[in-house]
Structure formats: C-alpha cells, structure tokens
Amino acid sequence: MTAHYHVYSIGNALVDLEYTVTQHDLDALGIDKGVMTLVDDQQQTSIMEYFNDRPHHRNAGGSAANSIIACSQFGGKGFYSCKVADDELGHFYMDDLRAGGVDTNHHTVKDQGHTGRCVVLVTPDGERTMCTFLGVSSQLSAHELLFDSLRDSDWFYSEGYLVTSDTARQAAIAAKQVADAAGVKTALSLSDPNMVKFFKAGLLEMIGSGVDLLFANEFEAMGMAGSDDLTTTVAALKHISTTFAITRGAQGALVWDGQQLLEIPAVPVTAIDTLGAGDLFAGAFLFGLSQGWNYERAGALAVTAAAQLVTQFGPRLATAETQAILKTFV
C-alpha cells in the first residue's frame, strides 16, 4: 500500500531574513564566511541593526522545511514537524507551510516566546553566511512528533542542524527508531561544515546504526570522513549510509546508489545566491526516489533544480518553475 506521505521530516522552523552584503561587512561584524553560526537574540539584533538601511527578503525557511516544500512543489506529499511561537513570525511560518502544501503539527503555534530567525548574508560571489537565533525552535522535542504520520510515510528525513539542541537531537533519534521499526526509509543531511566540525559525535548519534540515504556537500562529507581525499571519503561514507549524494557545486554531484558511484554532471549557470541549493537538491532527490525513480534520474533532477535556484535570490523556486523542470524529466 502506498504511504500517505512521501516524506516525513523534522527540523528547525526559521524565518530567513536575507541581505546582500560585502566581504567588508562580514569583516566589520567579525562573522565567519560561508557557514552557519548560532547567535543569541541580542547578537542577531545587532547584526540586523547594522544592516538597518538595506532592503531584505523575508522567507519561511529552515533547511529541512525548504526540502519538504520543494518535494511538495514537485508533486510529493510531505509532513513537517517543527516548533514555532505564538508571534507574528510563527503565524507567518505556519501559513507558508500550509500554502506550500505541507502538513504539519499546527498545535505548536500556541507556544510563547520568539520564532527562530536566520539572518542570511549573501556576498557578491553568491556565498551565503548564516547567523541563526533558534528561539523556541531550540526547544524542539519529541512532543512535536506525530508518530502515526511518520509510520505512514515512505521516507523520514532530518537535518543535521538539529544536533545543536539536546532535545531536538533526541527527537530526531526517537523518530529514526520509530521509522526503522516501521520499515520507513531514513535520510539525513549533514547540513553545514560547522555541524560536522563541532558536533560530529552528535551527528553519529543521529545516524546510529546507519541511514538509508545521506546528503552532504563535499566539505561536510570530507569532514565526516576525516579526510581531504574524495576517494577515501566515499569509502568512509559507505560505513554509515547505504546510499548517499555528495553535492559539489559547479562540478555537479557524486551519488552512490548502493551498487555504483554515479557522476551527475552540473548544469552550467552563473550563481548569485547559493542559499537553499542543498535543501532543494535533497527535496528534489527525495521526490524522485519516492516516485520510484533510480538514483541517476533523481540526481539529475536535483542538480537541475539546484542550478536554477542559485541564479536567483531566495531559498526556493516558484512552484511553476519546479513543475517546468519536472516536465523535462517525465
């Protein structure tokens, strides 16, 4: 029997506030380029005040949320467990999920506090640097999980960012255990080089005895393998995941389908903003697999979608764009 949900996911609920900046701005603020850094409310407010005179884009984000919405835009059915506050950003976030066709644990909107925010700083080379205040998302726990919906899914997908919170990490581990027991396939994204650098042990705890599918860019993958050699990295990842996809930016992607290593060629584009590219890649890839596609076809869809995304600002494509891409694959 076909599962009611193609993908069930858990992740941080963050409203993205995206600014176009220069390297000088990052230096002035003392912010490390190209990674995600956790900040408190006051630190993030200071950053926003620094850019007070500049326009910005506001989007409902969070890594796994971007992926699950992308899956939905391609035609998949998704469920997203998250935690938001009973504030304006929280209602904005939940409305955006519903508008994206994603089911969620709507009761979380009653929580007091502040919905998480992510200040995204985009430099002229298209690189994104993120300063994240988790807000109530730092309290994400198993309370936000709906196990019946999880069991009624093809895939369970979690983001590596959850490793920074003890309760969120334990929720992801609990969900994986339920998924494993129910025969639901499991997938995890390593999310960010800093997650691998500072929380590798926690990520391995989330992986447990192994996942069915791992997503990583080449820097995250090499960090996880403890090697700067791609061949050694590929061999190491086989010990923690049955299959995996390593994104390589302008060099496309490497995909291990459990039998062979596939090189998915890049789609040549000029990147202006890489925010959400890995998230869209994962969402498109999971959609393809949920439709019975092989890994090469799913990988090609994912690379094509991510390539189109980086030519514009923001973490998502419009549904019309995803459907236009999909038509070239069916």
* pLDDT tens digit at each of 330 positions of the chain: 445 999 999 999 999 999 999 999 999 999 999 999 999 999 999 999 999 999 998 888 899 999 999 999 999 999 999 999 999 999 999 999 999 899 998 765 567 899 999 999 999 998 999 999 999 999 999 999 999 999 999 999 999 999 999 999 999 999 999 999 999 999 999 999 999 999 999 999 999 999 999 999 999 999 999 999 999 999 999 999 999 999 999 999 999 999 999 999 999 999 988 889 999 999 999 999 999 999 999 999 999 999 999 999 888 999 999 999 999 998
Q: What is the CATH number of the domain that holds 163?
A: 3.40.1190.20
In a domain, 237, yes or no: yes
Is 128 buried (19+), middle (13-18) or exposed (0-12) by CB count in 10 A? buried
The answer to whether the beta carbons of residues 302 and 281 sit under 8 Å apart is yes
Report the distance separating Cα 265 and Cα 164, nearest Å.
33
Number of Cα atoms under 13 Å in the Cβ half of residue 304 = 19
Q: Which of 237, 239, 184, 182 is nearest to 215 (CA)?
A: 237
Under DSSP, the state recorded for 163 is: G
The pLDDT assigned to 10 comes to 97
User: What φ, ψ does residue 5 adopt, rounded to 5°?
Assistant: -115, 135
| Residue 97 resides in a domain | yes
Reported pTM? 0.92
In a domain, 43, yes or no: no
Please give the backbone phi and psi of residue 83, each rounded to the nearest 5 degrees, phi first.
-135, 120
Residue at 124 is within a domain: no
Terminal-to-terminal C-alpha distance of the chain: 23
Q: Which token pair is 186?
A: 């499991």
User: Which structural domain, as residue segments, surrounds residue 238?
Assistant: 5-12+61-113+136-327
Give the pLDDT of residue 202.
98
Residue 151: other Cβ atoms inside 10 A: 18
3-state secondary structure of 311: coil
- Domain contains 22: no
Note the pLDDT of residue 315. Answer: 87
Confidence at residue 3, expressed as pLDDT on a 0 to 100 scale: 59
> What's the structural domain count of the chain?
1
